[in-house]
A and B are shown apart, each in its own frame.
Chain A
Amino acid sequence: MKEGLVNFKGINGGIYICVKGGEYSTILQELERKLMESLDFFKGAKIIGIKGDSISREEKNELLNIMKYKYELNVIEDSQETFLDKPKVFEGIVEGMTKFIHNTIRSGQVIEYDGNIVIIGDVNPGALIRAKGNIVILGSLKGVAHAGIDGNTNALVAAYDLRPMQLRIGNVIGRRPDENMDIIGLPEVARVYDNEVVIEPYLPRK
Protein backbone atom coordinates (compact mmCIF):
# COMPACT_ATOMS: atom_id res chain seq x y z
CA MET A 1 0.00 0.00 0.00
CA LYS A 2 1.33 3.38 -0.97
CA GLU A 3 1.69 5.69 1.97
CA GLY A 4 -0.02 9.03 1.66
CA LEU A 5 0.27 12.22 3.64
CA VAL A 6 -1.81 10.85 6.46
CA ASN A 7 -1.45 7.36 7.83
CA PHE A 8 -3.02 5.56 10.73
CA LYS A 9 -0.79 3.44 12.83
CA GLY A 10 -1.77 1.07 15.60
CA ILE A 11 0.32 0.71 18.73
CA ASN A 12 -0.29 -0.49 22.25
CA GLY A 13 -3.21 1.48 23.59
CA GLY A 14 -4.72 2.76 20.37
CA ILE A 15 -4.22 4.35 16.99
CA TYR A 16 -2.13 7.38 16.21
CA ILE A 17 -2.02 9.47 13.09
CA CYS A 18 1.24 9.93 11.31
CA VAL A 19 1.51 13.05 9.19
CA LYS A 20 4.18 13.39 6.54
CA GLY A 21 4.69 16.86 5.13
CA GLY A 22 2.17 18.96 3.24
CA GLU A 23 -0.02 21.95 4.00
CA TYR A 24 -2.43 21.92 6.89
CA SER A 25 -5.45 22.23 4.57
CA THR A 26 -4.44 19.27 2.41
CA ILE A 27 -3.69 17.22 5.49
CA LEU A 28 -7.14 18.01 6.86
CA GLN A 29 -8.75 17.01 3.53
CA GLU A 30 -6.83 13.77 3.42
CA LEU A 31 -7.61 12.98 7.05
CA GLU A 32 -11.33 13.59 6.53
CA ARG A 33 -11.37 11.48 3.36
CA LYS A 34 -9.70 8.57 5.14
CA LEU A 35 -11.96 8.86 8.17
CA MET A 36 -15.07 8.78 5.95
CA GLU A 37 -13.83 5.66 4.19
CA SER A 38 -14.17 3.57 7.33
CA LEU A 39 -15.84 5.68 9.93
CA ASP A 40 -17.36 2.73 11.74
CA PHE A 41 -13.95 1.24 12.33
CA PHE A 42 -12.54 4.44 13.70
CA LYS A 43 -15.54 4.95 15.98
CA GLY A 44 -14.56 1.85 17.88
CA ALA A 45 -10.92 2.80 18.20
CA LYS A 46 -8.98 5.01 20.55
CA ILE A 47 -7.16 7.88 18.88
CA ILE A 48 -4.15 8.72 20.98
CA GLY A 49 -2.44 11.49 19.10
CA ILE A 50 -0.80 12.92 16.01
CA LYS A 51 2.80 12.58 15.08
CA GLY A 52 4.71 14.61 12.52
CA ASP A 53 6.99 17.62 12.22
CA SER A 54 5.26 19.44 9.38
CA ILE A 55 2.36 20.80 11.40
CA SER A 56 2.36 22.82 14.59
CA ARG A 57 1.06 21.82 17.99
CA GLU A 58 -1.99 24.05 17.57
CA GLU A 59 -2.79 22.45 14.24
CA LYS A 60 -2.48 19.02 15.79
CA ASN A 61 -4.87 20.01 18.56
CA GLU A 62 -7.29 21.38 15.99
CA LEU A 63 -7.25 18.10 14.05
CA LEU A 64 -7.82 16.18 17.29
CA ASN A 65 -10.77 18.43 18.12
CA ILE A 66 -12.27 17.91 14.66
CA MET A 67 -12.06 14.15 15.13
CA LYS A 68 -13.44 14.38 18.64
CA TYR A 69 -16.42 16.67 17.99
CA LYS A 70 -17.20 16.47 14.26
CA TYR A 71 -16.76 12.70 13.89
CA GLU A 72 -17.39 11.84 17.56
CA LEU A 73 -14.33 9.63 17.82
CA ASN A 74 -12.81 8.46 21.07
CA VAL A 75 -9.85 10.82 21.32
CA ILE A 76 -7.60 10.47 24.32
CA GLU A 77 -5.68 13.71 24.29
CA ASP A 78 -2.04 13.89 25.25
CA SER A 79 -2.15 10.38 26.63
CA GLN A 80 1.02 9.25 24.89
CA GLU A 81 2.44 12.58 23.91
CA THR A 82 5.91 11.77 25.14
CA PHE A 83 5.95 8.52 23.22
CA LEU A 84 4.67 10.12 20.05
CA ASP A 85 6.93 13.12 20.17
CA LYS A 86 10.00 10.94 20.40
CA PRO A 87 11.06 10.06 16.88
CA LYS A 88 11.95 6.46 16.22
CA VAL A 89 14.77 7.52 13.94
CA PHE A 90 16.90 10.58 14.58
CA GLU A 91 15.42 13.23 12.34
CA GLY A 92 17.94 16.01 12.77
CA ILE A 93 20.27 15.18 9.90
CA VAL A 94 19.39 18.38 8.06
CA GLU A 95 19.10 20.51 11.16
CA GLY A 96 19.52 19.10 14.60
CA MET A 97 21.57 18.30 17.66
CA THR A 98 25.29 18.19 16.96
CA LYS A 99 28.30 17.35 19.08
CA PHE A 100 31.60 19.06 18.30
CA ILE A 101 34.86 17.46 19.34
CA HIS A 102 38.19 19.24 18.93
CA ASN A 103 40.70 16.44 19.37
CA THR A 104 42.46 13.54 17.71
CA ILE A 105 40.36 10.43 18.21
CA ARG A 106 42.73 7.56 18.82
CA SER A 107 42.69 3.79 18.66
CA GLY A 108 40.36 2.29 21.25
CA GLN A 109 38.36 5.47 21.76
CA VAL A 110 34.63 5.46 21.07
CA ILE A 111 32.61 8.60 20.40
CA GLU A 112 28.87 8.03 20.48
CA TYR A 113 26.10 10.61 20.27
CA ASP A 114 22.35 10.75 19.69
CA GLY A 115 22.74 13.33 16.96
CA ASN A 116 25.31 14.58 14.48
CA ILE A 117 29.03 14.49 15.25
CA VAL A 118 31.66 16.92 13.99
CA ILE A 119 35.29 16.02 14.70
CA ILE A 120 37.81 18.83 14.36
CA GLY A 121 40.84 16.57 14.08
CA ASP A 122 41.78 13.11 12.83
CA VAL A 123 40.08 9.81 13.53
CA ASN A 124 42.88 7.27 13.73
CA PRO A 125 42.73 3.54 12.92
CA GLY A 126 41.05 1.59 15.70
CA ALA A 127 38.81 4.47 16.76
CA LEU A 128 35.02 4.23 16.48
CA ILE A 129 32.57 7.07 15.83
CA ARG A 130 28.85 6.31 16.23
CA ALA A 131 26.18 8.88 15.53
CA LYS A 132 22.42 8.77 15.04
CA GLY A 133 22.90 11.52 12.47
CA ASN A 134 25.73 12.61 10.18
CA ILE A 135 29.44 12.37 10.86
CA VAL A 136 31.67 15.15 9.59
CA ILE A 137 35.42 14.96 10.09
CA LEU A 138 37.61 17.98 9.51
CA GLY A 139 40.68 15.82 9.20
CA SER A 140 41.33 12.28 8.09
CA LEU A 141 39.06 9.35 8.83
CA LYS A 142 41.05 6.14 9.15
CA GLY A 143 39.00 4.42 11.85
CA VAL A 144 35.44 3.16 11.72
CA ALA A 145 32.49 5.50 11.30
CA HIS A 146 28.86 4.51 11.75
CA ALA A 147 26.34 7.18 10.85
CA GLY A 148 22.58 6.81 11.29
CA ILE A 149 23.01 4.06 13.90
CA ASP A 150 19.26 3.88 14.52
CA GLY A 151 18.70 2.91 10.90
CA ASN A 152 18.76 6.22 9.10
CA THR A 153 20.25 5.56 5.67
CA ASN A 154 19.91 9.23 4.74
CA ALA A 155 22.77 10.08 7.07
CA LEU A 156 26.16 10.84 5.54
CA VAL A 157 29.82 10.67 6.44
CA ALA A 158 32.12 13.39 5.14
CA ALA A 159 35.84 13.93 5.69
CA TYR A 160 38.74 15.92 4.28
CA ASP A 161 40.56 12.64 3.89
CA LEU A 162 38.13 9.75 3.78
CA ARG A 163 39.79 6.36 4.02
CA PRO A 164 38.03 4.48 6.77
CA MET A 165 38.63 0.87 7.69
CA GLN A 166 34.92 0.37 7.55
CA LEU A 167 32.00 2.67 7.06
CA ARG A 168 28.42 2.06 8.07
CA ILE A 169 25.39 4.14 7.29
CA GLY A 170 22.17 2.89 8.83
CA ASN A 171 22.34 -0.87 8.33
CA VAL A 172 24.52 -0.70 5.21
CA ILE A 173 28.17 -1.66 5.60
CA GLY A 174 30.94 -0.58 3.28
CA ARG A 175 34.53 -1.59 3.71
CA ARG A 176 37.81 -0.55 2.28
CA PRO A 177 38.86 -2.50 -0.80
CA ASP A 178 41.67 -4.96 -0.08
CA GLU A 179 43.86 -3.62 -2.84
CA ASN A 180 45.41 -0.20 -2.36
CA MET A 181 43.10 2.61 -3.25
CA ASP A 182 44.25 5.60 -5.21
CA ILE A 183 44.21 8.53 -2.85
CA ILE A 184 42.62 11.35 -4.77
CA GLY A 185 43.43 13.94 -2.15
CA LEU A 186 40.04 15.58 -2.20
CA PRO A 187 37.40 15.91 0.48
CA GLU A 188 34.83 13.19 0.03
CA VAL A 189 31.39 12.24 1.23
CA ALA A 190 29.86 8.80 1.69
CA ARG A 191 26.13 8.22 1.23
CA VAL A 192 23.85 5.27 0.66
CA TYR A 193 22.47 4.78 -2.85
CA ASP A 194 20.55 1.60 -3.67
CA ASN A 195 21.62 -0.07 -0.46
CA GLU A 196 25.32 0.50 -1.12
CA VAL A 197 27.76 2.93 0.38
CA VAL A 198 29.00 5.25 -2.36
CA ILE A 199 31.95 7.57 -1.86
CA GLU A 200 32.39 10.62 -4.06
CA PRO A 201 34.06 14.02 -3.91
CA TYR A 202 31.70 16.59 -2.48
CA LEU A 203 33.26 19.37 -4.49
CA PRO A 204 33.43 17.57 -7.83
CA ARG A 205 34.42 20.64 -9.81
CA LYS A 206 37.55 21.40 -7.82
Chain B
Amino acid sequence: MLIKIFLLSILLFNSVCFARPVSYPEGWTFMTKNDSEMNSAHLHYSPTFNKSVGYKIEYSKSKEYTVHTIHYNHLIKRWNKKHSQANFYTKKGIGVLHSDYRSYESKLKYAGYFGVSADWETRKYFTSYENKIFSAGKIDSYFSQKVKIGIAPYIGNYGDIHTWLMFEASHSPEKKDSITYSPIVRFFYKTHLMEIGMNNNKKLSFNYIKRF
Protein backbone atom coordinates (compact mmCIF):
# COMPACT_ATOMS: atom_id res chain seq x y z
CA MET B 1 0.00 0.00 0.00
CA LEU B 2 2.79 2.39 0.97
CA ILE B 3 4.73 1.61 -2.16
CA LYS B 4 1.59 2.13 -4.24
CA ILE B 5 1.02 5.56 -2.68
CA PHE B 6 4.64 6.46 -3.21
CA LEU B 7 4.62 5.38 -6.87
CA LEU B 8 1.26 7.03 -7.48
CA SER B 9 2.55 10.26 -5.95
CA ILE B 10 5.69 10.24 -8.06
CA LEU B 11 3.68 9.50 -11.19
CA LEU B 12 1.17 12.24 -10.51
CA PHE B 13 3.74 14.77 -9.35
CA ASN B 14 5.67 14.27 -12.54
CA SER B 15 2.73 14.89 -14.82
CA VAL B 16 0.73 17.66 -13.13
CA CYS B 17 0.54 20.26 -10.57
CA PHE B 18 -4.71 26.69 -8.39
CA ALA B 19 -8.08 27.12 -7.63
CA ARG B 20 -10.42 29.80 -8.66
CA PRO B 21 -14.03 29.18 -9.63
CA VAL B 22 -13.71 31.63 -12.55
CA SER B 23 -11.18 31.94 -15.33
CA TYR B 24 -10.06 34.62 -17.76
CA PRO B 25 -12.57 35.80 -20.41
CA GLU B 26 -13.40 32.93 -22.80
CA GLY B 27 -11.38 30.47 -20.75
CA TRP B 28 -12.35 26.86 -19.96
CA THR B 29 -11.59 24.99 -16.74
CA PHE B 30 -11.82 21.34 -15.84
CA MET B 31 -11.67 20.25 -12.21
CA THR B 32 -12.11 17.03 -10.34
CA LYS B 33 -12.33 16.55 -6.57
CA ASN B 34 -12.14 13.17 -4.91
CA ASP B 35 -12.26 12.16 -1.27
CA SER B 36 -13.64 9.35 0.84
CA GLU B 37 -17.20 10.75 0.58
CA MET B 38 -17.52 12.17 -2.89
CA ASN B 39 -16.17 12.16 -6.43
CA SER B 40 -16.92 15.11 -8.64
CA ALA B 41 -16.02 16.50 -12.04
CA HIS B 42 -16.79 19.99 -13.22
CA LEU B 43 -16.26 21.69 -16.58
CA HIS B 44 -16.94 25.41 -16.82
CA TYR B 45 -16.65 28.31 -19.24
CA SER B 46 -16.00 31.91 -18.23
CA PRO B 47 -17.56 34.49 -20.57
CA THR B 48 -16.05 37.22 -18.37
CA PHE B 49 -13.44 37.21 -15.63
CA ASN B 50 -16.11 37.28 -12.90
CA LYS B 51 -18.59 34.63 -14.08
CA SER B 52 -18.48 31.01 -15.06
CA VAL B 53 -21.14 28.51 -16.04
CA GLY B 54 -20.73 24.80 -16.55
CA TYR B 55 -21.76 21.21 -15.95
CA LYS B 56 -20.97 19.40 -12.70
CA ILE B 57 -21.40 15.75 -11.81
CA GLU B 58 -21.04 14.49 -8.23
CA TYR B 59 -21.19 10.95 -6.92
CA SER B 60 -21.83 10.22 -3.24
CA LYS B 61 -20.11 6.98 -2.28
CA SER B 62 -21.92 6.42 0.99
CA LYS B 63 -25.43 7.34 -0.21
CA GLU B 64 -24.99 6.00 -3.71
CA TYR B 65 -26.40 8.86 -5.69
CA THR B 66 -25.28 10.92 -8.64
CA VAL B 67 -26.09 14.60 -9.01
CA HIS B 68 -26.02 16.32 -12.39
CA THR B 69 -26.16 20.10 -12.22
CA ILE B 70 -25.75 23.27 -14.19
CA HIS B 71 -23.28 25.12 -12.03
CA TYR B 72 -22.84 28.92 -11.88
CA ASN B 73 -20.02 30.78 -10.13
CA HIS B 74 -20.01 34.53 -9.60
CA LEU B 75 -17.06 36.57 -8.42
CA ILE B 76 -18.89 39.23 -6.40
CA LYS B 77 -15.83 41.21 -5.43
CA ARG B 78 -12.09 41.09 -5.99
CA TRP B 79 -9.52 43.11 -4.07
CA ASN B 80 -6.25 43.51 -5.98
CA LYS B 81 -3.21 44.77 -4.09
CA LYS B 82 0.44 44.98 -5.16
CA HIS B 83 1.36 41.71 -3.53
CA SER B 84 -1.96 40.09 -2.78
CA GLN B 85 -5.42 39.27 -4.06
CA ALA B 86 -8.67 38.56 -2.23
CA ASN B 87 -11.94 37.26 -3.68
CA PHE B 88 -15.52 36.70 -2.65
CA TYR B 89 -17.65 34.30 -4.67
CA THR B 90 -21.09 32.75 -4.74
CA LYS B 91 -21.56 29.27 -6.15
CA LYS B 92 -24.87 27.70 -7.08
CA GLY B 93 -26.17 24.74 -8.97
CA ILE B 94 -29.49 23.22 -9.98
CA GLY B 95 -30.20 19.86 -11.53
CA VAL B 96 -31.29 16.29 -10.83
CA LEU B 97 -30.22 13.56 -8.44
CA HIS B 98 -30.37 9.91 -9.43
CA SER B 99 -30.24 7.45 -6.53
CA ASP B 100 -29.38 3.77 -6.28
CA TYR B 101 -29.63 3.69 -2.51
CA ARG B 102 -32.00 1.23 -0.79
CA SER B 103 -35.63 2.38 -1.01
CA TYR B 104 -34.59 5.30 -3.20
CA GLU B 105 -33.30 3.01 -5.93
CA SER B 106 -33.64 4.47 -9.42
CA LYS B 107 -35.41 7.54 -8.04
CA LEU B 108 -34.93 10.93 -9.60
CA LYS B 109 -35.17 14.07 -7.54
CA TYR B 110 -34.59 17.76 -8.18
CA ALA B 111 -31.47 18.92 -6.42
CA GLY B 112 -29.81 22.24 -5.80
CA TYR B 113 -27.14 23.89 -3.76
CA PHE B 114 -25.80 27.30 -2.84
CA GLY B 115 -22.57 28.37 -1.23
CA VAL B 116 -20.17 31.23 -0.72
CA SER B 117 -16.42 31.21 -0.73
CA ALA B 118 -13.69 33.71 0.05
CA ASP B 119 -9.94 33.60 -0.31
CA TRP B 120 -6.89 35.75 0.26
CA GLU B 121 -3.50 34.94 -1.11
CA THR B 122 -0.03 36.25 -1.71
CA ARG B 123 2.70 34.33 -3.42
CA LYS B 124 3.73 33.00 -0.03
CA TYR B 125 0.50 32.61 1.98
CA PHE B 126 -2.97 31.36 1.19
CA THR B 127 -6.20 31.18 3.15
CA SER B 128 -9.73 30.34 2.11
CA TYR B 129 -13.20 29.58 3.43
CA GLU B 130 -16.12 27.98 1.65
CA ASN B 131 -19.52 26.58 2.55
CA LYS B 132 -22.35 24.77 0.80
CA ILE B 133 -26.00 24.07 1.48
CA PHE B 134 -27.27 21.12 -0.52
CA SER B 135 -30.85 19.95 -0.81
CA ALA B 136 -32.44 17.01 -2.60
CA GLY B 137 -35.46 16.53 -0.37
CA LYS B 138 -35.62 13.28 1.63
CA ILE B 139 -32.74 11.65 -0.20
CA ASP B 140 -30.09 14.00 1.10
CA SER B 141 -29.73 17.51 2.50
CA TYR B 142 -26.66 18.85 4.21
CA PHE B 143 -24.54 21.85 5.14
CA SER B 144 -20.77 21.76 4.97
CA GLN B 145 -17.94 24.25 5.36
CA LYS B 146 -14.17 24.23 4.96
CA VAL B 147 -11.25 26.41 6.01
CA LYS B 148 -7.89 26.09 4.35
CA ILE B 149 -4.55 27.76 5.08
CA GLY B 150 -1.32 27.34 3.18
CA ILE B 151 2.28 28.42 2.86
CA ALA B 152 4.67 28.13 -0.07
CA PRO B 153 8.08 26.82 1.03
CA TYR B 154 9.73 28.66 -1.89
CA ILE B 155 8.52 31.29 -4.37
CA GLY B 156 8.83 30.44 -8.04
CA ASN B 157 8.24 32.67 -11.03
CA TYR B 158 5.80 32.06 -13.88
CA GLY B 159 6.42 28.67 -15.44
CA ASP B 160 8.10 27.12 -12.39
CA ILE B 161 6.55 24.32 -10.40
CA HIS B 162 4.97 25.89 -7.31
CA THR B 163 4.50 23.90 -4.13
CA TRP B 164 2.14 24.67 -1.25
CA LEU B 165 1.85 23.03 2.13
CA MET B 166 -1.72 23.36 3.30
CA PHE B 167 -3.97 22.45 6.15
CA GLU B 168 -7.72 22.02 5.76
CA ALA B 169 -10.42 21.71 8.39
CA SER B 170 -13.84 20.49 7.25
CA HIS B 171 -17.08 20.73 9.20
CA SER B 172 -20.18 18.76 8.29
CA PRO B 173 -22.64 18.92 11.21
CA GLU B 174 -24.85 16.10 9.89
CA LYS B 175 -22.05 13.56 9.88
CA LYS B 176 -21.06 11.39 12.80
CA ASP B 177 -17.46 12.49 12.44
CA SER B 178 -18.41 16.15 11.95
CA ILE B 179 -14.94 17.74 11.95
CA THR B 180 -11.99 16.40 9.98
CA TYR B 181 -8.49 17.77 9.42
CA SER B 182 -6.26 17.23 6.40
CA PRO B 183 -2.67 18.14 5.66
CA ILE B 184 -2.51 18.78 1.91
CA VAL B 185 0.30 19.23 -0.57
CA ARG B 186 -0.56 21.38 -3.56
CA PHE B 187 1.44 21.49 -6.76
CA PHE B 188 0.86 24.16 -9.34
CA TYR B 189 2.50 24.14 -12.72
CA LYS B 190 1.46 26.61 -15.42
CA THR B 191 -2.19 25.64 -16.11
CA HIS B 192 -2.24 22.53 -13.91
CA LEU B 193 -3.05 22.33 -10.23
CA MET B 194 -3.00 19.20 -8.13
CA GLU B 195 -3.70 18.58 -4.46
CA ILE B 196 -3.19 15.42 -2.51
CA GLY B 197 -4.06 15.08 1.13
CA MET B 198 -4.95 12.73 3.91
CA ASN B 199 -7.39 13.45 6.71
CA ASN B 200 -7.26 12.43 10.37
CA ASN B 201 -9.22 9.29 9.46
CA LYS B 202 -6.40 8.34 7.10
CA LYS B 203 -8.61 8.87 4.06
CA LEU B 204 -6.88 10.19 0.95
CA SER B 205 -8.12 13.06 -1.17
CA PHE B 206 -7.07 14.09 -4.65
CA ASN B 207 -8.03 17.25 -6.55
CA TYR B 208 -6.93 18.33 -10.01
CA ILE B 209 -7.62 21.45 -12.04
CA LYS B 210 -6.67 22.26 -15.61
CA ARG B 211 -7.25 25.54 -17.41
CA PHE B 212 -7.52 25.91 -21.15
Q: Do A and B bind each other?
A: no
